[in-house]
Structure 1
Amino acid sequence: MSDARDEGATGPAVVLLSGGLDSVTVLAIARAAGHDVYALSFRYGQRHALELQCAARQAERFGARAHELVDLSHLGRLVASATALVEGSALSVPKDRDPSGAGAAAEHASEIPVTYVPARNTLFLSYALAWAETLGARDIWIGVNALDYSGYPDCRPAFIDAFARMANLATRVGVEGEGDAVRIRTPLIDLPKSGIIARGVELGVNYADTVSCYDPSADEPDQRRAWPLACGRCDSCQLRRKGFAEAGVEDPTRYVAG
C-alpha cells in the first residue's frame, strides 16, 4: 500500500509540496519517475508561510500540470495552543538547542516536540486522496522522514501504512478496483538529510529556493516575490546545515545576518 522505494510507476500523481527541502526533492523524484505531477500545497497559518512562494516557483520549475493552494488557515487557529509552528501561538519555536538531539529518530522519541502540528499530515493526505481519486491518480507522494527529523508521529512508517490501508477502504477506486488502488510514496522516509540532499542535487533541485526554517524572514518587503532568509538557529535549520555539510555540498541557504 505504501512503498518508499518503487519509483517506476508513471501516469498522474499528486505530490504534497510545502516548499521545503524534503517536499521539493520528492517533487523532483516524482517527475524523474515519469509522472504527470499535480502539486498540492496548504496555507494553514504556518509561521513559515514564505515556503508557499517557494512551492509555487518549484512547481513551475518542474513542470507540474497544476498547483493547488488550499486555504486551511482555520487549522492554525484551532491548534495554536498546541504548536509553536503557527502564527498567533504563544509558544516559541525552540532555538539554539544541541544539534545532536535535534535529529533524534522518531521511532524512539520520548517527547513530541512543540513544533508538531496536530493532524497536519492526516489532513494533507486526505485532501491529496480526494484529488488523486478525481484525477485517476494511483500515487500520492509525500516527503515524510522518520530518520533524521523531529520525532513527529505522523512521519512514521506505521502512520503511512495505516493511512494507505484506510485509503483503499474509504474510496470508490479502492473498493471497486483490483489490488491496492492507492499507494502512498515515501522515497525519503529512511534517508538521512545528507542522502536527501545528494539525491536532489542529482535531479537539479535549486535548494536556495526552499524553506526549512521554522521562523524565516523575507529578503524584501514584497512578500509575493520574497525569497527566504533562515534564522539558522531552530532545529530544522541545524538539521539542514548538518545535512549539507555531511553531503559535501555547499549550503546555498541564506541566513539572517548576525
Structure 2
Amino acid sequence: MEKAVVLLSGGLDSTVCMAVARSKGLEVYPISFNYHQRHSIELESAKKVAEFYNVKKHLIIETNMEAIGGSALTDDKIAVPDGDFAHGTEDIPITYVPARNLIFLSYAMGYAEVIGANQVFIGVNAVDYSGYPDCRPEFIASFQKTANLATKAGTADAHPISIATPLQNLSKKEIVQLGSQLGAPLQFTHSCYKGGVKACGVCDSCKLRLRGFAEAGVVDPVEYENM
C-alpha cells in the first residue's frame, strides 16, 4: 500500500480528509500537534479518529505557538469572538494562528520523507472558511514548489511528495455530505475554538459547522452549549 501523511487536528475537515485518503486505499499516517492551543481538547478527538481507523502510528508533535501568541487560539488574554458570517474572506480574524499551516506542513513533509510517503493530505478549504491566508490555493501551490526544492525527495530523488487538498473547493455542506458518504467518524470530531467539553455553538468554527450540517440535512452528532 502507498503511504500518506494526514494532518489530523480532530476537527470536521481533517477527519473527512482522513476518510478521503483511506477511501483511496492509502495507508494513512496521521500527524497532530499540541501547539499549546486553547482548544487542546481537539487532540483527544484526533486520538479517537486515529484509533477508529486503526492506524499503525499516530504521531503527535509538541510545539509551543503560545510563546509566539498573536491569536485568540494561543493567547488566553484574547477572547474568542462569536462567529460573524458578515466578515469577508479578505478579513483575517483574531483566531488566525500566525504561520500555523506553514509550520505544520513543514513537519508533515519531513515525516513523509522519513516514512516513504508519497502524499501529504491537508483539509484546507477556501469556500466556507474563516479567511485564513494559509488555507488558500495560492499558499498550497507556493508551498508545494518550496517543498520540491527543500526536500531530498524533490531534489536528489526527483520524486516530489505531493500535497493533496481534497476539500479545497467544497462547501461545509459538501464536506459533511462527503464525510457521511465515506462513513467518517464525525461523532468524534471537535471543531469549537473555545475548548469546552461541549462545543460552544457561537464561535466562528461552530457556526460554520452547524450551518454545514443543517444545509446537508444531517444531524450533527456532537453536543453544544448553544445551538
What SS is found at the alignment partner of 2:109?
helix
190-199 or 204-213, which deviates more:
204-213
Runs of at least 5 residues in structure 2 that lack an aligned partner in the other structure: none
Answer whether contact 2:202 2:226 (CA < 8 A) is retained.
no
Name which of 75, 79, 89 aligns with 2:76.
Answer: 89
What SS is found at the alignment partner of 2:4?
strand
1:42 aligns with 2:42: no
d(CA) in 1 for partners of 2:59, 2:68? 23
d(CA) in 1 for partners of 2:130, 2:226? 25
1:71 aligns with 2:62: yes
1:35 maps to amino acid = L
d(CA) in 2 for partners of 1:145, 1:162? 16
Which residue in the other structure is 1:184 paired with?
163
What SS is found at the alignment partner of 2:106?
helix
Name which of 234, 241, 248 aligns with 2:203.
Answer: 234
Name which of 25, 44, 49 aligns with 2:16.
Answer: 25
Q: Offset at 1:89?
A: 3.0
Runs of at least 5 residues in structure 1 that lack an aligned partner in the other structure: 1-9, 219-228
Which residue in the other structure is 2:220 paired with?
251
Q: Offset at 1:253?
A: 2.1
Q: Offset at 1:257?
A: 6.2
d(CA) in 2 for partners of 1:167, 1:83? 26
Q: Offset at 1:208?
A: 2.0
d(CA) in 2 for partners of 1:177, 1:161? 21
The structure 1 segments of at least 4 consecutive aligned residues displaced by more than 2 Å after TM superposition are none
d(CA) in 2 for partners of 1:153, 1:257? 29
Which residue in the other structure is 1:226 paired with?
none
Answer whether contact 2:38 2:76 (CA < 8 A) is retained.
no
2:135 maps to amino acid = C
Answer whether contact 1:207 1:252 (CA < 8 A) is retained.
yes
1:78 maps to amino acid = I
Answer whether contact 2:201 2:226 (CA < 8 A) is retained.
no
d(CA) in 2 for partners of 1:161, 1:131? 20
Answer whether contact 1:113 1:151 (CA < 8 A) is retained.
yes
d(CA) in 2 for partners of 1:189, 1:114? 22
2:139 maps to amino acid = F
Which residue in the other structure is 1:151 paired with?
131
191-200 or 56-65, which deviates more:
56-65
Q: Offset at 1:217?
A: 1.3
d(CA) in 2 for partners of 1:207, 1:173? 34
1:161 aligns with 2:141: yes
Residue correspondences, number = 227
TM-score (norm 1): 0.84
- The alignment yields a C-alpha RMSD, in angstroms, of 1.5
TM-score (norm 2): 0.95
1:75 maps to amino acid = M
Answer whether contact 2:191 2:205 (CA < 8 A) is retained.
yes
* Paired-residue identity, %: 48
